Amino acid sequence: MDAGRDVTETMVGFARTLRAAGCPADPERVRAMLGALDHLDVLAPADVYWAGRLTLCADPADLPRYDRCFAAYFSGATARPGRPAPPPPTLRRTLTDGARPPAPDGADDPEVGTAAASDVEVLRDRDVARLGAAERAEVGRLIALLDAATERRRSRRFEPAPTGRPDPARTVRETLRRGGEPAPPRYRAHRTRPRKVVLIVDVSGSMGPYADALLRFAHAAVRSGGRSVEAFSAGTRLTRLTRELRHRDPDAAMAAASAAIPDWSGGTRLGAELKEFLDRFGQRGLARGAIVVIASDGWERGDAGLLGEQMARLRRLAHRVVWANPHRARPGYEPLTAGMAAALPHVDDFTSGHSLAALEDLARLIGGGRVRGSAHARRAR
Amino acid sequence: MAHIRTTAASPAELAGLLERHAYLCDDGLATACFLALRMGRPLFLEGEAGVGKTELAKTLAAVLDAPLIRLQCYEGLDASQALYDWDFPRQLLHLRAAEAAGVTDVARLEGELYHRRFLLARPLLQALETTPSVLLVDEVDRADDEFEAFLLEVLSDFTISVPELGTVRAEAPPAVVVTSNRTREVHDALKRRCLYHWLEHPTFDREVAIIRRRLPDAAGRLAGQVARAAQRLRAADLLKPPGVAETLDWAEALVALGARDLDPGTAAVTLGTVLKYREDQQRVRAAGLGALLDGG
């Protein structure tokens, strides 16, 4: 640290670096950090480290980011205050870069500039992998408007209600309140709470053309479902995206999500990912009684046996397991890939999610509704 | 606002005080506790089950020589269970007594009815009224998000307003420890009010030290063997990796059996103290209990 530089200035610059890296270092937290430093030794690196970590982080996922920024900032290697951090790569770039691996069937060339005045009704049923840039933007806008409000489940708790079962406690309290005069009986009914929904979006190379639309769908679900919806990306590393996707603006949320996902367009280790999800989140409660939606083509590079095992485990925890495979909509599709075949026996609803209409169906599924013309039978093989 | 005074002038000193009460913590946690006390901010602790979140609050209470007031959160927790409630039966009794005594001053009687002594203090109010005190809000992720809203209100100003009585203000805000197991995301506004600390499983050396400190009866080799086995179990990809609490249970069970060494035989009969899932036990047994103990 330069001796001449003000502590406050240095730390505010550090907080800015952190914000750019995705930590929630907002002004109130920065104030708390400066307050913490008052009680510690500003010149001791360990004290500065802990003062910042305790006040500027809010999630275990922030800790590695914090460590990186701390090392970089205080060694003076990068990111001086005043120089804005480079903008995180955006999703669009990832999707349209030449480096993108070809889609499995080779039919992914965007038909550039054909979309100008496409009718929404026409767009609804088009496969999102075959859209031009303008059409894709339009579909993205429409997905953001989807209402994926979640189904409600009955809670074990009661709440006062105008009718229902008698509520002895409240009736007696009311009677006591009136000094023992009989009071009209009170009633109670089970509360309802939004059912939890977990979306796991495969962002591996083979899902490339669909990942953007599906993440936008996840954004719409997280925005409309409040705190009962959680979103993750899977590929080679499981990433929790709920916080990134909570951003109001779809494009900002997408940018934040793509910055957070370390394994864009990589391979798929779905079985291992699912295991990690269940170990770290699912079993502790996230998947219990939840509707779990897995959006993936089931191209498993790892062990399909592990995927089957973990799907069985998920099935025991979750209320319903929905699998959205965009390739399912292709004529003549058969679930032949090893991963898909291993997973299917443990799936309640097998749907597609390849077009706006299909995503609307998915939203309806999450809302507890039934879907037109979808194969609903639980598959037993 | 005056905060709870500690005699500790630095995190290291506080760590020493905690150690005297048999709680061993690292620099990060010591700094977190020190700042929480100095800045009067709640400490928000997250981490795997069994890493010593609740225990920390208990030890902190012992160090500060203050009562520990615990609010265990659960779904459906509401204000009348967390803040305060009026004691209707006693109010009624008071009325009857006044009637029998022939009190005619109605206005005074009414005033008396909403006296502090008819107010039942629940944990949050209790903590504000007790100085000094340590308030433990345990497993806040189990409560509903509405509860977080009024917890936030209490923790920002350390006041509770009772409409009939007025505002209750803490003389000195209690030391507050909020724990969460991350079954759901706690609202950011609440976290922002707090110092956030993620508790890791202890390192091997620290775990040995913890076992020795807690169980002086554990023979020198036993503590090391149990800690090493626990570290290996944590790396073994189990449904529920053992926390420090389980390690201590395990060591205690071995001490109670009079074991001087952890060998496959004693490990087999005591495995239930450290692994609580049948799948985990099967998995470890299948891999061979010897694998846990090698190289000790």
The series of mean pLDDT values per 10 residues for chain A, 381 residues long, is 67 89 87 91 89 90 88 65 42 40 42 44 71 77 75 83 88 81 88 88 84 88 83 87 84 84 80 88 85 87 85 90 86 81 87 84 76 41 32
Shared-domain flag, residues A257 and A332: yes
Residue written as token pair 């073994």 = B236
Give the pLDDT of residue A210: 85
Q: Is residue A81 part of a domain?
A: no
Shared-domain flag, residues A177 and A41: no
HSE at residue A157, side-chain half, CA atoms within 13 A, is 12
Which tokens is A180 given? 């023992």
Whole-Å CA distances, A151 to A143, A196, A351, B184: 19, 8, 18, 18
Pairwise CA distance, residues B162 & B45, whole Å? 30
Shared-domain flag, residues A65 and A145: no
Shared-domain flag, residues A199 and A266: yes
Residue A151: closest CA among A353, A358, A349:
A349
CB B180 within 8 A of CB B199: no
Considering only CB atoms, which residues of chain B are within 8 Å of chain A?
11, 27-28, 31-32, 34-35, 38-39, 41, 46, 75-76, 88-89, 92, 95, 145, 181-185, 187-188, 191-192, 195-198, 237, 239
Q: Is residue A264 part of a domain?
A: yes
Q: Is residue A304 part of a domain?
A: yes
Give the pLDDT of residue A111: 41
Residues paired with A187 in a beta bridge: A161, A166
Q: Does the predicted interface ipTM exceed a cut of 0.90?
A: no
Instruction: Detail the DSSP E strand segments found in chain A.
Output: 152-161, 165-166, 187-194, 197-202, 229-234, 239-240, 291-295, 320-324, 349-351
Give the pLDDT of residue A109: 42
CB A243 within 8 A of CB A234: no
* Cα dihedral sign, A8-A12-A14-A15: positive
Cβ distance A60 to B46 less than 8 Å, yes or no, reads yes
Q: A2 CA to chain B: closest CA distance, Å?
A: 25
CB A306 within 8 A of CB A271: yes
Shared-domain flag, residues A112 and A216: yes
Residue written as token pair 């909570």 = A246
Which tokens is A284 given? 């502790």
Cβ distance B145 to A35 less than 8 Å, yes or no, reads no
Which tokens is B214 given? 């807690």
Pairwise CA distance, residues B90 & B97, whole Å? 10
Residues paired with B160 in a beta bridge: B168
CB A318 within 8 A of CB A281: no
Shared-domain flag, residues A239 and A328: yes
Residue A53, chain B, CB below 8 Å: the answer is yes
Taking CA–CA distances from A173, the nearest residue in chain B reads B88
Angle at A34 between CA A31 and CA A39, to 5 degrees: 130
Residue B139: closest CA among B175, B179, B177, B176:
B179
Span A313-372, pLDDT tens digits? 999 989 989 998 888 888 778 877 888 888 888 888 888 888 888 888 888 888 766 544
Shared-domain flag, residues A120 and A242: yes
Cβ distance A32 to B92 less than 8 Å, yes or no, reads no
Shared-domain flag, residues A22 and A108: no
- pLDDT in 10s for each residue of chain B, 296 residues: 445 566 688 999 999 999 999 899 889 999 999 999 999 899 999 988 888 899 999 999 999 999 999 999 988 788 888 999 888 888 888 888 888 888 888 888 888 888 888 999 999 999 999 988 999 999 998 888 788 888 988 998 899 988 888 898 988 889 999 999 887 778 888 999 999 999 989 999 999 999 999 888 887 788 999 999 999 999 887 878 899 999 999 999 999 998 888 888 888 899 999 998 888 888 888 888 888 877 54
Give the pLDDT of residue B30: 93
DSSP reduced 3-state for A239: strand
* Helix, strand, coil percentages for chain B (3-state, nearest 5): 55, 15, 35
Q: Is the pTM of this model over 0.90?
A: no
Residue A58, chain B, CB below 8 Å: the answer is yes
Range of the domain at A162: 155-193
Q: Is residue A367 part of a domain?
A: yes
Best of A30, A54, A66, A153 to substitute, by most chain B Cβ atoms within 10 angstroms, is: A54
- Please say which residue of A46, A74, A102 terminates a domain: A74
**C-alpha torsion angle, residues B227, B231, B233, B237 (rounded to 10):** 170
Pairwise CA distance, residues A359 & A377, whole Å? 20
Distant-in-sequence, close-in-space partners of B269: CB < 8 Å, separation ≥ 6:
B257
Give the pLDDT of residue B113: 85
- Please say which residue of A26, A46, A74 terminates a domain: A74
Query: What's the domain count of chain A?
Result: 3
Which tokens is B217 given? 């009866």
Give the pLDDT of residue A89: 43
Nearest CB among B89, B197, B239 relative to A176 is that of B89
